Structure 1
Amino acid sequence: MLQKDYKVHIPVVKELLNEKYDVLAGIDCIGFKDDSNQKLLQDINSFLEQYYDKIRHKVKEQELKNQLSFTLITKILMGTLGCVPAYDRYFIAGIKNQKVATGNYNLKSIMQLVDFYEKNFARFEPVREKMEVEGMPYPQMKMIDMGFWQVGLELDTNKRIQTAH
Structure 2
Amino acid sequence: MQVRNSPSRYGLVSIVMHWGVALAVFGLFALGLWMVGLDYYSPWRKSGPDLHKSIGLVLLAVMALRVVWRFVSPPPPAPANHGPLTRVAATLGHLALYLGLFAVMIAGYLISTADGAGIPVFGLFEVPALLSNLPDQADTAGLIHFYLAWGLVIFAVLHGLAALKHHFIDRDATLLRMLGRKA
| TM-score with structure 2 setting the length | 0.30
Normalized per residue, the structure richer in helix is 1
Question: Could you say which structure has the larger radius of gyration?
Answer: 2
| TM-score with structure 1 setting the length | 0.32
